[in-house]
Amino acid sequence: MRAFFFICLATFAAIVLSGQKPARAEPARPLPAWEEALAKQGALKPAANFSGIGDRNARSLALYAEATKVITHPRCMNCHPVDNIPRQGAAMKVHSPPMTGALDGHGPAGQRCSTCHGVKNFEQTGGDNIQSIPGNPKWALAPASMAWQGKTPGEICRQIKDTSRNGGKDLEALYHHMAEDELVGWGWNPGKGRAPAPGDQKQFGELIRAWIDTGAACPA
Ligand code: HEC
Ligand code: HEC
């Protein structure tokens, strides 16, 4: 009788414990299709790959063309619009909910970027395809003078060198911004569900350094 009791107890305990087994970890969610396509774009070539180009101007142009892979990436472009409206995702759709940078790039009163965008990326598991909300202490929209969307690499090149439009940055300041600014750095740490910009910020900084050192040439 006592043995039977213990068998029952053991069976009961086994059932209870198996019920408490931690749920198997949710499989990683795939990137949304557009982000997946973006993630498959080629890697960023290191600056050293261009040292074989003898002509200084041609080398500068080639370095800039490589850096353009980052500059024209949606992770950067989404915040550099011409119409003061941020974009979202690899397909660069108009921001939802509707949003403008307002006067200072931080959004209208009562609906500032920081209402939703915290100091770091925030993971969320919603029913939709949004896997995280981007976050950074400096999160804001670039002003119209720094708009890149719809512009050619040559136009962007002349603009980012123009101190009357780039926030008064000489080439050295431009280099430091590209290579070290933490908001630029977000492009390689964009949160779940988003493809990062190619390469890393260090490699990108080295391309910009070499481009400047070869005369910062701009394509036509
Ligand atoms: C969250 C929005 C946001 C993202 C993402 C972003 N930027 Fe910006 N960017 C800004 C804002 C705001 C400014 C202006 C304030 C400043 O200079 O710090 C700016 C200014 C700049 C400037 C100054 C010069 C000019 O004419 O534009 C450069 C260069 C730049 N960003 C590069 C990048 C690159 C490269 C990336 C992607 C790797 C990027 N940004 C991603 C918001 C953003
Ligand atoms: C009411 C909430 C809310 C406010 C306010 C808001 N956002 Fe967003 N934003 C979101 C959410 C949620 C996402 C993620 C959705 C997605 O990526 O599809 C997002 C994504 C973005 C992205 C996409 C990044 C990328 O590369 O895919 C950018 C850029 C952005 N917001 C800029 C801004 C800026 C700039 C402001 C202020 C002017 C702002 N947002 C204000 C909710 C908000």
pLDDT digits (tens, 9 = 90+) for 133-187: 999 999 999 999 999 999 999 999 999 999 999 999 999 999 999 999 999 999 9
Ligand 1: which of 70, 77, 80, 178 to mutate, most ligand atoms within 8 Å of CB?
Answer: 80
pLDDT at 19: 45
- Distance (Å, whole) CA 147 – CA 141: 10
Whether 106 contacts 117, CB under 8 Å: no
**Average confidence score pLDDT of the chain:** 90
Nearest to 102 by CA among 74, 70, 139, 141: 141
Ligand 1: which of 44, 79, 119 to mutate, most ligand atoms within 8 Å of CB?
Answer: 79
**9 or 196: which leads in pLDDT:** 196
Asked whether 187 lines ligand 1 (CB < 6 A), one says yes
pLDDT at 12: 45
Q: Residue-wise over 85-122: b if at least 16 C-beta within 10 A, else e?
A: ebbbbbeeeeeeeebbbbeebbbeeeeebeeebeeebe
Q: What percent of the chain has pLDDT over 90?
A: 79
Averaged pLDDT, 51-73: 98
- Distance (Å, whole) CA 173 – CA 65: 20
Asked whether 208 lines ligand 1 (CB < 6 A), one says no
Whether 153 contacts 219, CB under 8 Å: yes
pLDDT digits (tens, 9 = 90+) for 87-144: 999 999 999 999 999 999 999 999 999 999 999 999 986 656 789 999 999 999 999 9
Using the mean position of ligand 2's atoms as its centre, give its distance from the Cα of residue 117 in Å: 7
Distance of CA 93 to the CA centre of its chain: 15
Ligand 1: which of 104, 136, 177, 194 to mutate, most ligand atoms within 8 Å of CB?
Answer: 177
* Residue identifier of the C-alpha nearest atom 9 of ligand 2: 133
Ligand 2 pocket residues where CB is under 6 Å: 74-75, 78-79, 86, 88-89, 95, 97, 99, 101, 106-107, 111, 113, 115-117, 130, 133-134, 140-141, 190, 194
Ligand at shortest distance from the CA of 74: 2
Averaged pLDDT, 195-212: 98
The amino acid that residue 90 corresponds to is A
* Residue identifier of the C-alpha nearest atom 36 of ligand 2: 113
Lowest mean pLDDT among 3-7, 143-147, 211-215: 3-7
